[in-house]
Amino acid sequence: MSTPTPIYLDNNATTACDPKVVEAMLPYFTEQFGNASSMHSFGNKVGVALKAARTKVQKLLGAEFDSEIVFTSCGTESDSTAILSALKAQPDRKEIITTVVEHPAVLSLCEQLEKEGYTIHRLKVDNKGGLNLDDYAKVLSDKVAVVSVMWANNETGTYFPVVEMAEMANAAGVLFHTDAVQAVGKIDINLAATKIDMLSVSGHKLHAPKGIGVLYVRRAVRFRPLLRGGHQERGRRAGTENAPSIIGLGVAAELAMEAMEHERTYVKALRDKLEAGILAVVPHAFVTGNPDNRLPNTANIAFEYIEGEAILMLLNKQGIAASSGSACTSGSLEPSHVMRAMGIPYTAAHGTVRFSLSRYTTEEEIERVITAVPPIVAQLRKLSPYWGENGPVADPEKAFAPAYA
């Protein structure tokens, strides 16, 4: 059996490095290996390239000054730096506002801070993954050190109204941070026109390499570094710069701006075609999150009465790469916290599959996936105790009520 050409629809997990990015990086491993801090010409050339990359990232984010861009090692470091900086800079404020559907980079940190005595307000979401801003307004106070709310959810792509929430925080005198790793590069962002104080970026989500991130810190926002040491990044993030990756990210930022229109129109159309194509044929399946307010590249579909890992394994056999919110794919106890927070029933949350497209995705690939999915779902449903001859058994929860251990 010949292996089918792979189709990569897991771009919210990570993306392929753009060849142009790699090309731009290569000289900085060999002939341009200097340390940007050095006085000689080896270092100087790297310093100039870093400055150019910083400007490109500044443009992508619509930041007012290039000095607002701090290069870090990843999105997680940016998130940790932002939140811990806010706490350090305002030792009298012991509360944090976040949401129940954040990425573990924020949630796990908050759990740890809770153990250390901080109060964490976790805003709940409705069944479409939306927030109630009245709830938010109620907890905003001068005891809050920072609000950390993601721009777009990694699993469903659903947006949070971060621009509006930043305005509210600003009015209340509270710092506002957003984890925008899924949004940056896919949608227009103009930070200068917002009240967002800090924003996290992850390079590998926008066709730059892994191991490079950005923390945007608005000018004059009080800041305390996570890593102290050398004067790199104006003392806000010590440690020798990851020059090749920063330069790669600069190119990726440029390419993302060029592809933004394509992302918003073509990629979105492919995503919509994929969803419509699958839902037209597969019964008992639905889109999770808010279909009218989300990233153009993300489709998250719940297939009821079957389990996600099994779906992924069968997809993978046909060369199709996607991801799932099922407990089994992560080795954790529970299905995705995002699905549970939206009140998706267990038997559906386990069967969620996320297809995340990129600017490289083609129509032919989408057509192949639309053809591949229905038989896989049917095959697994035939094995499912919740499924009868031609549909779910009558009253599935009662007909099959296992003793859980």
Partner 1 sequence: MWDYTEKVKEHFYNPRNTGPLEGANATGDVGSISCGDALRLMLKVDPVTEIIQDAHFQTFGCGSAIASSSALTEMVKGMTLDEAKQISNQDIADFLDGLPPEKMHCSVMGREALHAAIANYRGEEWSDDHEEGALVCKCFAVDSQMIEDTIRANKLSTVEEVTNYTKAGGGCSTCHEPIEEILTKVMAERGETFVPAGAKKAKPAVAEAAPAKLGTLARIRKIEEVIAAVRPTLLADRGDIELVDIEGKNILVNLSGACSGCQMEAATLAGIQTKMIEALGEFVRVVPAAKAQAHACASHAHGG
C-alpha span between 10 and 369 (Å, rounded): 13
CA atoms within 13 A on the CB side of 345: 11
**Does the footprint of partner 1 cover residue 306 (CB under 8 A)?**
yes
Tell whether residue 331 is a contact of partner 1 (CB under 8 A): yes
Ordered strands of the 69-72 beta sheet: 69-72, 213-217, 198-202, 175-179, 144-148, 95-99, 119-123
Instruction: Name the segment binding partner 1 (CB under 8 A); options: 14-22, 154-162, 226-234, 328-336.
Output: 328-336
- Residue 328 among the catalytic residues: yes
Of 17, 74, 110, 328, the catalytic one is: 328
Q: Which two tokens stand for residue 8?
A: 């990569």
* Coil, strand or helix at 67: helix
- In angstroms, the Cα distances linking 235 to 74, 228, 241, 285, 323 are 18, 7, 12, 51, 39
Measure the CA–CA gap between 179 and 61, rounded to whole angstroms: 13
Nearer to partner 1, 169 or 312 (CB): 312
258 exposed, middle or buried (CB, 10 Å; 0-12, 13-18, 19+)? exposed
Answer for which of 67, 328, 360, 367 binds partner 1 (CB under 8 A) is 328
Instruction: For residue 309, state whether it binds partner 1 (rule: CB under 8 A).
Output: yes
Nearer to partner 1, 118 or 266 (CB): 118
Amino acid (1-letter code) at residue 101: V
Pull the structure tokens for residue 329.
């794919």
Q: Which of 305, 370, 376, 377 binds partner 1 (CB under 8 A)?
A: 305
Residue 378 interacting with partner 1 (CB under 8 A): no
Residue 109: helix, strand or coil by DSSP?
helix
Q: Choose between 103 and 350: whose C-beta lies nearer to partner 1.
A: 350
> Is 375 an interacting residue with respect to partner 1 (CB under 8 A)?
no
If one asks whether residue 4 binds partner 1 (CB under 8 A), the answer comes out as no
Residue 114 interacts with partner 1 (CB under 8 A): yes or no: no
According to the binding rule CB under 8 A, does residue 333 interact with partner 1? yes
Q: How far is the CB of 113 from partner 1 (least distance, A)?
A: 15
Which lies closer to partner 1 via its Cβ, residue 231 or residue 398?
Answer: 398
Please give the positions annotated as active site.
Answer: 328
Contacts to partner 1 by CB under 8 A:
305-310, 313-314, 316-317, 326-329, 331-335, 346-347, 350, 382-386, 400-405
